[in-house]
Amino acid sequence: MIDEVPDTEVTTLARYDEIIDVRSPGEFAEDRLPGAVNLPVLSDAERAEVGAIYKQESKFIARRVGAAYVARNVAHHLETALAGKPAGYRPLLYCWRGGMRSGAMATVLAQVGWRTGVVKGGYKTWRRCVVDGLRDNDAPINIILLDGQTGTAKSEILGRLAALGVQTLDLEALAAHRGSVFGALSAKAQPCQKFFESQLWNALRAFDRNRPILVEAESNRIGRCELPRRLWQAMLAAPHIVVRSDAKTRADYLVHAYADITQDNAVINAAIDRLAPYQSKEQLALWRNMAGAAEFTALAASLMRDHYDPLYDRSRARRANKTLAEFSLGGLDSPGIKAAAEKIRGVVERQAR
């Protein structure tokens, strides 16, 4: 049996065991429903071939060739990824617009005996939900910013707060980037903009709207990922909690937090080069020399003093965010971060509606 899942239910998927994206790997890589697995009925090359035949020869030949590819690929999935699924398995399928690709695979899975769902309108239905939620909708988002200068362990504090039950939105984790020119994660590529937005909307829609969401203060771009209009406007207007620490403690923390890039001098120099529009040649040369001599604590201290702290001060001066509380961090080790998180949790909980 095949269930057609309408637009109004596409974000309520708990009754299904698995979400299957049957589009090509290239389409899947750009964006997909969070949690979906990719079992394509056409590869990228097969999809391109069928599309060319459709345009240049005939619809009939394209459908015949495409059906042969689909049949072989669905058979492969039944023999591999789906081979161990039980009789009660309930998959939800979607393709680009809920048409032939998802319908073809759903027919086969339903014949196996699985209660199979197909998203009406396909991926485009989900994308409309995301765009409406992040760009077109003007309803306010109940946000509090966690603010502080570079090196004040904001991301780590945010993670500790999430473990304590505070609603947190970790933008840097979703963007796979730490938010500065040194922020790229060596082991993980950033998502495409559309998938960043899909993850963002999936997280936001799960929150209790009557409780604040704690978000680290960021610029409107994290690496190559841009914050959507509705979220960015909410962040500009949000009150904030400020954390502070002395320069030496912050420099030591940064060397630890960015240990992955201190192993690669080429990566450090490339990041320093991206500061060229903002710094003199002499300053850039000094930073490169520090990196070459493995003087990473001195490099972190200088970058903060001569670039990031002034940048933060200018940015904060342009904002008029209400300050809910300020905390001086005694240390950025585990006990210090735990203590800060406990204090911040108290402030956030008092702001619940």
Q: Which residues are catalytic?
A: 95
Tokens of 307: 């670039």
Which residues lie closer than 8 Å to 237 by C-beta, 6 or more apart? 321
Question: How many Cβ atoms from other residues are within 10 Å of residue 139's Cβ?
Answer: 8
Strands, E assignment, 45-96: 91-94
Phi-psi region of 98 (alpha: psi -120 to 50; beta: other; left: phi over 0): left
Which residues lie closer than 8 Å to 86 by C-beta, 6 or more apart? none
Q: Among the residues of 113-228, which ranges form H helices?
A: 123-131, 154-163, 171-175, 193-204
DSSP letter string, 213-277: EEEE---SEETTEEPPHHHHHHHHH--EEEEE--HHHHHHHHHHHTHHHHT-HHHHHHHHHTTTT
- Look at residue 177 and give its three-state secondary structure: strand
Contact criterion met (CB below 8 Å) for 151 and 198: no
Contact criterion met (CB below 8 Å) for 229 and 220: no
Helix, strand and coil percent figures for the chain, each rounded to 5 = 50, 15, 35
